[in-house]
Amino acid sequence: MRSILAGVGSYLPERIVTNDELARRLETSDSWIADRTGIRQRHIASDRETCAFMAAEASRAALRNAGAGPDDVDAIILATSTPDQAFPASALRVQAMLGVRHGFGFDLSAACTGFIYALSIADSMIRSGQIRGALVIGSELYSRIVNWQDRGTCVLFGDGAGAIFVRAGDRNDKRGVLSTHLHAQGTLGDILYVDGAVGRPDRPGHLVMNGREVFRHAVTRLAEAVEEALAANGLKRTDVDWLVPHQANRRIIEAMGRKLGLPPERVVITVDRHANTSAASVPLALDDAWRDGRIKRGDLVLLEALGGGLTWGSSLVRI
């Protein structure tokens, strides 16, 4: 069995907050943020636009795009660090909102690498014959966990959701997920973390980051993950049509593009408009390039991400 990427969808909150708007209430500027990260604006969720709400909207779009319906969904795997509630899993709120009446679902916590982890699990379950169709979602509201007094972190993040629908295809099918590669190093847990949780009575938690350390690890780990994905499939850098990276920082993204020898127009960038939407960033970027017709059937797409944990991973997908 192969997992075919049958449809993609996304959702962004209505409210857009520009760097200039942030500069009115924080000691920062559009040029500081844009020069270091490429970010110019981010979407910020309203009270109505929760993790499950945005995930359900993105999933509806992905199912529509795939020509599929609720009865085709055997599993809902939702990557998030900002669920609506400790439980039920937001994946199951999505199940209810979509009218999916069978199968199962769960939330997955791997910070910004969550979507790659979720894709890997869905792909394994499809390959083993356990399921035939899965919604793989990233939905995040970092606006709820950033410290809005900390200009070093709050300017970097945004809210949103992206989803794909993957279904079982034929083993002889050339399309589909070729491989996924997951990594983690728990000893680096303190360079990017949230200092609390739903279970903590004192505080729900704020994001804390050592930006320089994260930057340093991102460049080396992601380069390794990209090489690993190519080697596992006996492919060369020149075989890759598109790089769809996690959208944290334009400088990291461009460094990865150069490593692959890809021209800038073959690297999908949304960080300027979305900022870092954590687990939602890869499917949001994929949807961006899919909807406007850049990514086409037959293209070889390399996905990669790195985030708190430290977690990182990659996946090669033939569309």
Q: How far is CA 9 from CA 31, 162, 216, 278, 282, in A?
A: 32, 6, 32, 16, 11
41-100 binders of ligand COA (CB under 6 A):
none
* Residue range at the interface with ligand COA (CB under 6 A); choices 63-71, 136-144, 169-177, 214-222: 214-222
The number of CA neighbours under 13 Å toward the Cβ of 311 is 21
Q: Does 183 engage in binding with ligand COA (CB under 6 A)?
A: no
Q: Is 276 a known active-site residue?
A: yes
CB of 29 to ligand COA, least distance (A): 6
Among 122, 248, 282, 284, binds ligand COA (CB under 6 A): 248
Q: Using the 8-state DSSP alphabet, how is residue 92 labeled?
A: H
Among this protein's residues, is 233 annotated catalytic? no
What's the closest the beta carbon of residue 218 comes to ligand COA, in angstroms?
6
Q: Which of 206, 217, 246, 274 is catalytic?
A: 246
Beta bridge partners of 316: 179, 302
Residue 154 is among the residues annotated as catalytic for this protein: no
Task: Give the CB-nearest residue to ligand COA.
Answer: 211
| Three-state DSSP state, 121 | helix
Asked if 155 is part of the footprint of ligand COA (rule: CB under 6 A), the reply reads: yes
Question: Given phi > 0 = left and psi -120 to 50 = alpha, else beta, which region is 49?
Answer: beta
Q: Per rule CB under 6 A, is residue 36 in the interface with ligand COA?
A: yes
Which residues 6+ apart lie within 8 Å of 35 measured at CB? none
- Distance, CA of 163 to CA of 136 (rounded, Å): 6
Residues 175-202: b if buried by 16+ CB within 10 A, e if exposed: bbbbbbbbbeeeebeebbbbeeeeeeee
Given 112, 181, 249, 274, the catalytic residue: 112
Minimum distance between the CB of residue 281 and ligand COA, rounded to whole angstroms?
A: 9
For residue 110, give the nearest of 182, 42, 210, 199 by alpha carbon. 182
> Nearest approach, Cβ of 209 to ligand COA (angstroms)?
6
Q: Contacts with ligand COA: how many residues (CB under 6 A)?
A: 20
The Cα diameter of the chain in Å comes to 57
- Please tell me whether residue 214 binds ligand COA under the rule CB under 6 A: yes
Stretch that binds ligand COA, among 99-107, 151-159, 160-168, 176-184 (CB under 6 A): 151-159
Query: b/e for 274-311, b at 16 or more Cβ within 10 A?
Result: bbbbbbbbbbbbbbbbbeeeebeeebebbbbbbbbbbb
Question: Is position 32 an interface residue for ligand COA (rule: CB under 6 A)?
Answer: yes
Stretch that binds ligand COA, among 51-59, 166-174, 210-218, 255-263 (CB under 6 A): 210-218
| Residue 110 contacts ligand COA per CB under 6 A | no
Among 127, 179, 184, 215, contact with ligand COA (rule: CB under 6 A): 215
Tokens coding 105: 């679902």
- Nearest approach in angstroms of CB 2 to ligand COA is 30
Q: Which of 276, 277, 314, 315 binds ligand COA (CB under 6 A)?
A: 276
* Distinct helix (H) and strand (E) counts, the chain: 10, 13
Which listed residue (95, 139, 249, 277) binds ligand COA by CB under 6 A?
Answer: 249
Q: How many of the other CB atoms lie within 10 Å of CB of 44?
A: 22
Task: List residues binding ligand COA (CB under 6 A).
Answer: 28, 32-33, 36-37, 112, 151-152, 155, 209, 211-212, 214-215, 218, 248-249, 276, 306-307
Q: Which residues are designated catalytic?
A: 112, 246, 276
